[in-house]
Structure 1
């Protein structure tokens, strides 16, 4: 193993929140010498899952040709059957927190998307089912979690006991940003404000608000009196973020607040000295980015794993 290079393939779920952690892990593996090769509403996720499953035979052909030593996967539960035929290994790599897997994705738990979980967590329609998660975990050769012993050690140990297989922890695997500069328009705007005075709000790529929810949040930021930067996808029914703004808001807030409907370099924003508070959905990537920042954190979870992540942050880690 010390003299041979490993060839690793990645096959994540079709969502930015899953692509990006897999990309970060690929980059870290590449540093060690290995070779590396959200517009869907939750009500239609079952169709996305079906589309994923229909790629099985094409993926089998690709992997047969590539002959990787290891395949990392998450929702493609048929990957291990392919790797067994090829005589290689499959590793389940989770980009969600270990506590949500320990809560409802272990063999002894029996939940369906129609049942409210014990902690009042309701799975949205089409949310990846418990069956898909547990079957993926069962058939993998090992489990890898994007977490660390200090934050989720008991949950990772519990998963290892439940599935009787190795559970490895990668840590947060955050991207390196030291060589990247914040966009000039954001840097210039933020530099006008006192350190720690600006509120930054983002809910990730998968959360799309109703127009009424978006309006309430924007009016709340206006009433707060603080300068703010909001980076959200346009709400349902609105082609652009500008069309969704409450009437007269832009004129009233002037240069005190900005609303952006596209991607931002969040890690760099959180490092800017003017940002003092991060209003987040507690997606697992954003959770780690907030933990390594100096910002105060306000958590507004939407999905079950975000609810569990919020409870982990607030009740167990007490951050």
Structure 2
């Protein structure tokens, strides 16, 4: 075992990035290493409960500079619609002097980053190592972030896979194009200039995509494993949710959550609610209020609450997602297929129905459906949206025990869950990852 190191962590200012970075920080701290975690001031309070080693993991708050177009109180991606992300990205770049000052004062051995493409250049100036830690799927990077790549065209050497460049669909192409233009430069620059590439994934699920990325960037790619937190047994599921869910048969409840960034238009929000009602099954939906509404109740379809009273709830606040998924009454998880949520669904016992919106979610969905064959996707209209019938049909297809597709995805899901929760898999990845980092630092 090598000597202990001090790592800086500087993830993109979104909870879907900061949270997995903190999970990795906990693993490093558990092994005796120190971490300084750079983040916006307001985010510290929301992340503190994830810090399991406060003596070894120190939060270093940054002041978010004022940027034209960015609301004055916005500090994370959760504070703004996706259309304003470019202004938050500009603000992140303007924190460079604060990051450099912290590096100069605290002298870390290495710095983890993802969107801040200037970190490798800065790290070289201070003679420290830079680690591009990617928390989206290797599938996404292989599709959209290879040097000289062209959107929708498989690069030479692209691995044989069922996850194809299938983006003929107008809404998929539009989403990928926006994403591609916005952060292609940031990600590829960081990957080309960093000392080490690391990805939050495992060989079993995405090995061939990781190998492809290693060849494209001519670097060794280190894997951390899925990096999911263990369930905190000391904090049980809140009583009102436990009481509600326990009123239903095992495996009968549909849980729907679409992440912290998705804000639906009112008509889309209502269609989703009506689709859940149409399943005839008990359900719990956790969503942000639709655009133009301050509460979810304002956006609900007329008469909806009365019709589903006792069997369905639409909730606009935060919920304990891992604990809800672990509840025996929950049998189906409708989600957006963000990468963290993808891993959570794979290690759950729930049937999986996918409703992706953003580019990386669309590619994760292809991985889940075509490569792993563990889930179904809600079919879309030509407009890019879905109907209440298509949502209901997708849920019923996996919840009907006699449905052949439902049987297939249940079988495959069981197989993959067994692999991912097998004893020693997660700890083995972390051990190998830390050992490899220590070798780089010698």
TM-score bracket relative to the smaller structure:
over 0.9
Aligned length: 314
Corresponding residue of 1:210: 265
Corresponding residue of 2:26: 27
Instruction: Choose from 310, 330, 342 the match for 1:255.
Output: 310
- Does the CA contact (< 8 Å) of 1:70 and 1:89 recur in 2? yes
Cα-to-partner distance string for 1:83-142 (whole Å, 9 max, x where unaligned):
111111010011110011011100030349xxxx76243354863421111111111111
Measure the CA separation in 2 of the matches of 1:234 and 1:22.
28
How far 1:176 sits from its partner (Å)? Answer: 1.4
Corresponding residue of 2:381: none
Instruction: Choose from 55, 69, 88 the match for 2:95.
Output: 55
1:72 aligns with 2:109: no
1:136 aligns with 2:187: no
Corresponding residue of 1:96: 136
- Does the CA contact (< 8 Å) of 1:106 and 1:134 recur in 2? yes
User: In the superposition, relative to structure 1, how do residues 85 and 173 fare at CA in structure 2: closer, same or farther (>3 Å)?
Assistant: same
Instruction: Choose from 203, 211, 225 the match for 1:171.
Output: 225
Superposed CA RMSD: 1.5
Alignment of 1:77-226 (within 5 A): 77-111=117-151, 119-120=167-168, 121-122=172-173, 124=175, 127=179, 128-179=182-233, 180-226=235-281
Greater relative contact order (CA < 8 Å, ≥ 6 in sequence)? 1
Cα-to-partner distance string for 1:204-232 (whole Å, 9 max, x where unaligned):
00111111100000011112110000001
Measure the CA separation in 1 of the matches of 2:173 and 2:241.
37
Corresponding residue of 1:274: 329
- Does the CA contact (< 8 Å) of 1:10 and 1:72 recur in 2? yes
1:234 aligns with 2:289: yes
Measure the CA separation in 2 of the matches of 1:67 and 1:299.
44
Measure the CA separation in 1 of the matches of 2:166 and 2:336.
21
Measure the CA separation in 1 of the matches of 2:14 and 2:303.
35
User: In the superposition, relative to structure 1, how do residues 94 and 53 fare at CA in structure 2: closer, same or farther (>3 Å)?
Assistant: same
How far 1:42 sits from its partner (Å)? Answer: 1.9
Measure the CA separation in 2 of the matches of 1:207 and 1:314.
22
1:296 aligns with 2:295: no
Measure the CA separation in 1 of the matches of 2:189 and 2:216.
13
Corresponding residue of 1:283: 338
TM-score between both structures, scaled by the size of structure 1:
0.95
SS at match of 1:135: helix
- Give the gaps of 5 or more residues in structure 1: none
How far 1:278 sits from its partner (Å)? Answer: 0.3
How far 1:314 sits from its partner (Å)? Answer: 0.6
Measure the CA separation in 2 of the matches of 1:72 and 1:178.
26
1:39 aligns with 2:79: yes
TM-score between both structures, scaled by the size of structure 2:
0.69
User: In the superposition, relative to structure 1, how do residues 86 and 24 fare at CA in structure 2: closer, same or farther (>3 Å)?
Assistant: same
SS at match of 1:173: coil
- Does the CA contact (< 8 Å) of 1:8 and 1:68 recur in 2? yes
Measure the CA separation in 1 of the matches of 2:89 and 2:129.
23
SS at match of 2:204: helix
How far 1:47 sits from its partner (Å)? Answer: 0.7
- Which sits farther off after the overlay, 103-112 or 37-46? 103-112
Measure the CA separation in 2 of the matches of 1:234 and 1:19.
23
